[in-house]
Amino acid sequence: MYKIVEKKELAPDIYSMDVLAPRVAESAKPGQFVIVIADESGERVPLTICDYDTEKGTVNIVIQAMGCSTKKMVSYNEGEYFKDFVGPLGKPSAYVNEDLEEVKKRKYLFVAGGVGAAPVFPQVRWFHERGIDVDVIVGAKTKELIILEDKIRDVAGNLYIATDDGSYGFNGMVTGLIEDLVVNQGKKYDYCIAIGPMIMMKFVALLTEKLGIKTIVSLNPIMVDGTGMCGACRVTVGNETKFACVDGPEFDGHLVDFDEALKRQAQYKEEEIKKLKKVEEECKLEQQGGVK
């Protein structure tokens, strides 16, 4: 059992939780993820690690309540326990194992869409701790959905905000801001690391390919069981079949077949909607005293 020691609401339906998991905290590296199971009947939910504290033995995860499992998880409060909290899983970001002096020669741009700000934060902090300034874009539909702004600002060289509706920062999508920085402001980047919704990563990769910027994306959104056994996260990368959970979750964004990945992701949406509707109906009956 894994105790929830802190819970915060970051934005509507988006929560931050610190979970006591010393062994995971001790081994975690940027880019990796955990599998969380809420209770005996809970599903396996892969979540990218947002932060970790080796002294406290805690791991921070950010959960967006969208489906049945994530809605159940965010209903838990401080002092309660998750049944399982397994990790760290997946391969760390490539630069973690590269020669540091070579990494310092490059200019990195991180692009986070929505809750993608959570896995971006530990990566940006990794660079900051080694004296490397990186630029960061955080994008969301509206201002109220921007998360972790202060934490990222503390470790980023430059932080740029973009909102689809123009309510905060750059008026438009993250791709428009990337183009503005590179084309209009003359910024030069060697690498772009993009984490967020699949459709966002697709269009970021299409743009950076035109701009000549090497790009890494995280395919965490298509993972299901996190072990490679279910095959749900199977994806084509450079004409080779890969599994996001065991071969990634990070891949060369210019080699990923995003159209295939998006189709695979959509397979589960209809089933999830039906399941969520059933749960909501059962909850309504319980409130009316129809069932126990």
Using one digit for the tens of pLDDT, what is the confidence trace for 252-285? 899 988 888 787 666 655 555 555 565 556 555 5
pLDDT for the residue 226:
56
Q: What is the rounded CA–CA span in Å between residue 187 and residue 108?
A: 11
What does CATH list as the number for 94-218? 3.40.50.80
Average pLDDT, rounded, for the chain: 86
CATH 2.40.30.10 residue spans of the chain: 2-89
> Percent helix, strand, coil in the chain (nearest 5)?
35, 30, 35
Residue 223 has pLDDT above 70, yes or no: no
**pLDDT the model gives residue 278:** 58
Would you say residue 202 has pLDDT above 90?
A: yes
pTM: 0.84
In CATH, what number does 2-89 get?
Answer: 2.40.30.10
**Residue 171: is its pLDDT beyond 80?**
yes
Look at residue 270 in the predicted model and tell me its pLDDT.
Answer: 59
Q: Each residue of 112-145: pLDDT tens digit?
A: 999 899 999 999 999 999 999 999 999 999 999 9
More reliable by pLDDT, 195 or 243: 195
Taking the C-alpha atoms of residue 191 and residue 264, their distance in angstroms, rounded to an integer, is: 27
The full 3-state SS of 154-205, as one line of letters, equals HHCCEEEEEECCCCCCEECCHHHHHHHHHHHCCCCCCEEEEECCHHHHHHHH
The distance from CA 215 to its chain's CA centroid, rounded to whole angstroms, is: 16
Of residues 226 and 54, more confidence is placed in 54
Say what angle helices 198-211 and 258-266 make with each other, to 10 degrees: 170
Instruction: Report whether pLDDT(250) > 70.
Output: yes
Most confident of 27-36, 62-71, 246-255: 27-36
- At 38, the pLDDT band (50, 70, 90 cuts) reads confident
Given pLDDT bands bounded at 50, 70 and 90, which one contains residue 213?
A: very high
* pLDDT score for 140: 94
**pLDDT mean over 225-236:** 65
Instruction: Using alpha carbons, list the distances in angstroms from residue 278 to 13, 50, 204, 273.
Output: 20, 31, 36, 9
pLDDT tens digits, one per residue of 87-114: 888 888 999 999 999 999 999 999 999 9
Enumerate the CATH 3.40.50.80 domain ranges in the chain, comma separated. 94-218
pLDDT of residue 68: 76
